[in-house]
Amino acid sequence: MKKSLFFLSLVFVLIFSACNKKEEAVDQKAKAQEDDSKKEEIYNVDLGSAVFRGPQDAPVTVVNFSDFQCPFSKRSVDLMEGLLKKYNGKVRYVFKHFPLSFHKWAKPASYAAVAAQNQGKFWEYYAKLYADVKNINEETIVNYAKELKLDMDKFNADRVAPETAKKVQDDITQGSLFGVRGTPTLFINGIRIVGANSAKIEETITKQLVIGEQLKAKGVKDPYAELVKNGKTKFIPPKREAPAVSQDVYKVEIPAHAPIWGAEDALVTMVLFDDFECPFCSRLYGTYEQLKKDYEGKIRIAFVNLPLGFHKKAKDAAYLAMAAHKQGKFWEVYSFLFMKQKEWNRVPDFKEWLETNKADIPADWDALKKDMESKEIEKIVEEDIKTATSLGLRGTPASFVNGRFISGALPIDSFKKVIDEEFKKAEGKGLKGDALYKEIIKDGKPAVAKNNGNKTDKEKEDPNKIYQVKLSGKEAVKGAKNPKVTIIEFSDFQCPFCSKAFATVEGVAEKYKNDVKIVYKNFPLGFHKEAKPAALFAYAVKRLYGDEKFFQLASILYAKQKEWNSNPEEKFAAYAKEIGADWTKVKAEIAKPETEAAVSEDIREAGNHNLRSVPSFFVNGRKVSGAKPAEFFESMIESIIKEKK
């Protein structure tokens, strides 16, 4: 508060004393503020023909990339209304369209606002849209235009005109260039602020008023143009430091049947556990191809299959690859599968797709087709899965470099760093190839600990840390009204581990029903295509029929995961009937923006606590990752209850 009062008083002094050379102390303060502003990243956001309020020569220009259906955008809009009044004539406010794809009516609302702008009524129409962001639909879009007495024929023609769509798309493209990923994102004299952070927005405006007024006092006609002229023309995300890879060595024995690429006398052996349907494995494919080029003749790579259970086509793809291995064509088919992954991943029948594209497969198709169905190939893939499981691997991709574990699709520099370290270690051993590798791993650890990842001890999370998980009040809740223990569950209806965890926690909650409450939050992962539709379905049921029906439906969704993996809507209708819900009403509820907003709010809260996988739990604020056994949760609950006695 004191800081804000200081800035406001400084603004007052500058306005009334800017030309007074005797006010040396004030001038020095203003110069210090200007120097500080130079340390902040400034972006040169071209205003173009965007609609704005306030004088063009205002000391401060605020550009707001916003979404008419976003509740957080509404907060920024309400804040700006107050600030425009507070700093009357000192702020130019520029609006840019950035309708988010998951807000069904955001883009139609932007088109309508442009149509209203064509009749000189943008700000009036804008005010009506933001007055009730939850109630935007075709009816309200039209009614607002009628209330403003717009020419309806022109309005309706303009909102579907190509030039209107282009205007909105131009804003979206520009926003994306400047790192806009969500709304609101504001640029205050070129300084980027993400979200409706009222304190930061007002503090930045107050600070920039000082600088802008000083420029005007020096005769600068357009302070904004002057301040951003050398600013960045696009947003470049800060380069993240590559995660440290543990020095721990694991005893990863290479199956005798494994395809191997590279030099027999290599000093570095890499073992890759992969799933052909996994999008992260596809991303890592490019990294491995580059490593092959950069270290040709120096490394060797062994491949082990780990098709994950929830990837329906992964096992058949593994059969194809190992059938190709019989022909000496594994690495060719490996490349074919990853290069075509997006194509075959979308089709309902993988084998049918293979038949259609058999001419492009770099191996003898007739032999492949026969071997894919053989018990021999099935046994090989099952042995690979057992090898991965015995090592404690639960996800893909997983890599071992001379036994050192690298989890996931890390940047190529992370791999190169480990490879180069292993070269140096191996040079003095006097061994090469398989003999060297066996010597390195002979005393290695038997299995990767869960959640080991690539973190050093310092980077591992404090198991006793208490997290403040924000609850919206919209979540499905089950259990004690006055609980001693609250379990917040972030889960994904398509995740097989979540299915196990959900059943476990349900049982634990029933056992301690007088002391435990469950709060369910949706966290559908991006690579589970039907997870979000399922989350929307379940939330719609909760809104219409309450918590009991939600958990009844959740149990069905988890129990029948494999059933609704394809053509989910047909199955959802049947499940709705099974729990006594009206599918027509549920379907209408799913389509409402507030249903989408609630699920998105859960996803954002997961991101706020750096959740990357499911299931994840917070037991009285303490984070628990993964599908733990019932005994684990019971022990935590007993301990908490004992502490509270």
- 63, β-bridge pairs: 94, 187
CATH of range 260-441; options 1.10.10.10, 3.40.50.150, 3.40.50.300, 3.40.30.10: 3.40.30.10
CA atoms of 345 and 348, how far apart (whole Å): 8
The beta strand positions in 426-540, using DSSP E, are 476-479, 485-491, 516-522
| Nearest partner of 95 among 67, 121, 72, 129, judged by Cα | 67
Q: Which CATH class is domain 32-228?
A: alpha beta
* Per-residue confidence (pLDDT) for residue 442, from 0 to 100: 94
C-alpha dist (Å) from residue 79 to 60, 84, 94, 171, 190: 15, 9, 14, 22, 19
CA atoms of 371 and 313, how far apart (whole Å): 17
* Per-residue confidence (pLDDT) for residue 240, from 0 to 100: 60
* Per-residue confidence (pLDDT) for residue 621, from 0 to 100: 93
**Which residue bears the tokens 């059943």?**
503
- Structural domain boundaries of the chain? 32-228, 260-441, 476-644
* Per-residue confidence (pLDDT) for residue 463, from 0 to 100: 65
Instruction: Take residue 327 and report the two structure tokens written for it.
Output: 């022909």
* Per-residue confidence (pLDDT) for residue 121, from 0 to 100: 97
Going across the sheet that includes 191-194, the strands are 52-53, 91-97, 60-66, 185-188, 191-194
- Residue ranges for the chain with pLDDT beneath 50: 1-38, 453, 455-459
CA atoms of 459 and 436, how far apart (whole Å): 31
At what angle are helices 314-326 and 330-339 packed, to 10 degrees? 150
Instruction: Take residue 483 and report the two structure tokens written for it.
Output: 């609980």
* Per-residue confidence (pLDDT) for residue 183, from 0 to 100: 92
One-letter amino acid of 249:
V
* Per-residue confidence (pLDDT) for residue 13, from 0 to 100: 33
Q: Do 260-441 and 476-644 fold alike per CATH?
A: yes
pLDDT tens by residue, 537-585: 999 999 999 999 999 999 999 999 989 977 788 999 999 999 999 999 9
**For domain 476-644, is the CATH number 3.40.50.2000?**
no
Whether 325 contacts 362, CB under 8 Å? no
* Per-residue confidence (pLDDT) for residue 239, from 0 to 100: 64
